[in-house]
Chains A and B, each alone.
Chain A
Amino acid sequence: MLDRAAPETAKDKATRRVLFRGAGFVPASSRFGGWIALALVIAIWQAAGSAGVVNPLFLPAPLAIVRALYELAASGALWQHLSASLLRIGVGWLLGTAAGVAVGFAIGLSRLARSVGITFISALFPIPKIALLPLLILWLGIGEEPKIATIALGVFFSTAISVYSGVDAVPRNLIRMAQSFNVPFATIVRKVIWPGALPAILAGFRITASVALLLVVSAEMIGAQYGIGAFVLQAGNLMQTDQLLAGVVILSVFGLAVGRVINWLETRLLHWR
């Protein structure tokens, strides 16, 4: 027979609750918390600017930055700079990603490519790619090519590393399973290794998008007439800090947009996780 004690009758002075010790370590973000905090910071910033607490030369108020952005857009200069940067990032990122995916898969799948590839990647990855820009200008001239090549190089190494790490992380039991059904090599790569490595590859895209943004700004600051980096540098030289920060806002929005695209890709392609 089960012993069913009545808790009411069992209570006395010696009875106490067991303390709850399981709180915390499960941070959940509020849906609007971030936006409210951002709006609050902007409001304080604007109030400080309007009250004259902050010198607008050093830190222009948000409204001044919005005005600068509007003027940039109205004059057509925004598109001129933005399109130049987008072209460089787009072409550089695509070239670097294509080469990085190919080399990453080769390293992940071939003993020879792994032996050779990892040595070269380990040696060349730590080099700040922007340091190669002068050399690339010597090799490729002063046009778009050296800037695109700098971005492509930066993207290539990070992509190759994330791809071969992703391939390495594909559970071996899935590959053995496919082999046990005599599935051909190409089908195993397409149906097992590619989807298995995709989470790491998409995580790599997130990093390479930042790398590309960093490099395009750096490269444009060194040698470009148009582009967001060139625009920010020119604005700084002329002490037009409202325009300088307008350029920074554009870069921030670009970074956010890329993040959104990658989030969307992850939702679409990794729904099974």
Chain B
Amino acid sequence: MDLIANHISHRFGDLAVLDDVSFTVRAGEVVAIVGPSGCGKSTLLSILGGLLLPTSGAPELRGAPPADSLNPLTFVFQDFALLPWANVEENVEFPLLHTQLSAVQRRALVDDALRRTGLTDFRKAYPKQLSGGMRQRVGISRALAVRPAILLMDEPLSALDSQTRELLMEDFVRLLADGGMGAVYVTHNLEEAARLADRIVVLSRRPGRIREVVTVPMTRTERGETAAREKLLALQNQIWSLIRNEAIDAEREVQHA
């Protein structure tokens, strides 16, 4: 199943946030969206996931989702969005409660998702008892439980410390390795984008327009190798040179706001 951003523009009142953004996320592909602060990355993701109506244009799907997918477009949120009154397994089961699945089937999906994220031993813990990294693992586990075709990840690592970020990045690489699941990965971190994405959509300063779409010239497996580091660094520098001046302008604009 492909996800298409079809000439999407958006305004908040008088403020133009996105201007004519078009690209396609092909089945199993990971697309990162980067750009200066306030360029509309998260707004674009909300529109792609159907949580926000664009002023013009539309998000579209092409092709059928996998037969076992219960929620083809599934978000992983920056702030985890866990129900604080529910324990880990209840949080993971939450999106399954309204489906036609039996309790046994739900249990199997929850068990599988917890196993894939290493949370099996923490199933009875409440969010307040978990570290930030573990909370995000619960968020990822909940997303995996509904068998998504495309994960919509809104800066999923930005609230975490650098060590936890590194560990979760390894998890993302592993989860997306087989190409069975695509992702749109919004981030301000160019290293994360270069490490995870097949293509990187670089947005301009507000209103966000596509400045360039950069293809990462190696597989994700190759990127883990030492020899690839220089190439990835060069790629990051290339993207940074594209957005640096606008990032400075955007920062000054935020400070004056």
Interface residues in chain A, defined as those with a beta carbon under 8 Å from any beta carbon in chain B:
173-174, 176-184, 187, 191-192, 195-196, 270, 272-273
Q: Which residue among B79, B83, B85, B86 has the maximum number of chain A CB atoms within 10 Å of its CB?
A: B85
Interface string of B33-73 (1 = CB under 8 A from A): 00000000000000001110000000000000000000101
* Residue contact B77 to A182, C-beta cutoff 8 Å: no
Contacts of B50 in A (CB 8 A): 180
> Please, which residue of chain B has its CB at the minimum distance from the CB of A171?
B81
Contacts of A195 in B (CB 8 A): 83, 85
* Residue contact A273 to B84, C-beta cutoff 8 Å: yes
* Residue contact B95 to A181, C-beta cutoff 8 Å: yes
Contact flag A182-B81 (CB < 8 Å), given A187-B97, A191-B94:
no
> Please, which residue of chain B has its CB at the minimum distance from the CB of A194?
B85
- Please tell me which one of the listed residues B49, B73, B77, B128 contacts residue A173 in the complex, with CB atoms under 8 A apart: B77
B240 at the interface (CB under 8 A from A): no
183-229 of chain B: CB within 8 A of chain A: none
* Residue contact B98 to A182, C-beta cutoff 8 Å: yes
* Residue contact A179 to B98, C-beta cutoff 8 Å: no
> Please, which residue of chain A has its CB at the minimum distance from the CB of B50?
A180
Interface string of B113-142 (1 = CB under 8 A from A): 000000000000010100000000000000
Closest Cβ of chain A to B201, distance in Å, is 21
Contacts of B73 in A (CB 8 A): 180
Closest Cβ of chain A to B127, distance in Å, is 8
Can you list 17 A-B contacts with CB-CB less than 8 angstroms, sorted by A residue number?
A: A173-B81, A176-B51, A177-B81, A178-B94, A179-B51, A180-B49, A180-B50, A180-B71, A180-B74, A180-B75, A181-B71, A181-B146, A182-B98, A187-B98, A195-B85, A272-B85, A273-B84
The majority secondary structure among interface residues of chain A is: helix
Closest Cβ of chain B to A81, distance in Å, is 41
The 8 closest A-B pairs by CB, nearest first: A181-B95, A177-B81, A272-B85, A180-B75, A195-B85, A173-B81, A187-B98, A272-B126
The complex places the Cα of A272 from the Cα of B95 at a distance, in Å, of 20
Closest Cβ of chain A to B143, distance in Å, is 9
Closest Cβ of chain B to A64, distance in Å, is 49
> Please, which residue of chain A has its CB at the minimum distance from the CB of B52?
A176
Contacts of A270 in B (CB 8 A): 85
- Please tell me which one of the listed residues B49, B51, B74, B97 contacts residue A191 in the complex, with CB atoms under 8 A apart: B97
**Contacts A174-B83, A180-B74, A183-B97 supplied; 18 other A-B pairs, CB < 8 Å:** A173-B81, A177-B77, A178-B94, A179-B51, A180-B73, A181-B71, A181-B94, A181-B95, A182-B71, A187-B97, A187-B98, A191-B97, A272-B84, A272-B85, A272-B126, A272-B128, A273-B84, A273-B128
Contacts of B98 in A (CB 8 A): 182-184, 187
* Residue contact A174 to B95, C-beta cutoff 8 Å: no
Contacts of B126 in A (CB 8 A): 272
Contacts of B81 in A (CB 8 A): 173-174, 176-177
Interface string of B82-95 (1 = CB under 8 A from A): 01111000000011
Closest Cβ of chain B to A180, distance in Å, is 5
Contacts of A192 in B (CB 8 A): 83
> Please, which residue of chain B has its CB at the minimum distance from the CB of A199?
B85
* Residue contact A180 to B51, C-beta cutoff 8 Å: yes
Contacts of A176 in B (CB 8 A): 51, 81
The complex places the Cα of A176 from the Cα of B73 at a distance, in Å, of 14
Closest Cβ of chain A to B97, distance in Å, is 7
Closest Cβ of chain B to A199, distance in Å, is 10
Contacts of A177 in B (CB 8 A): 75, 77, 81
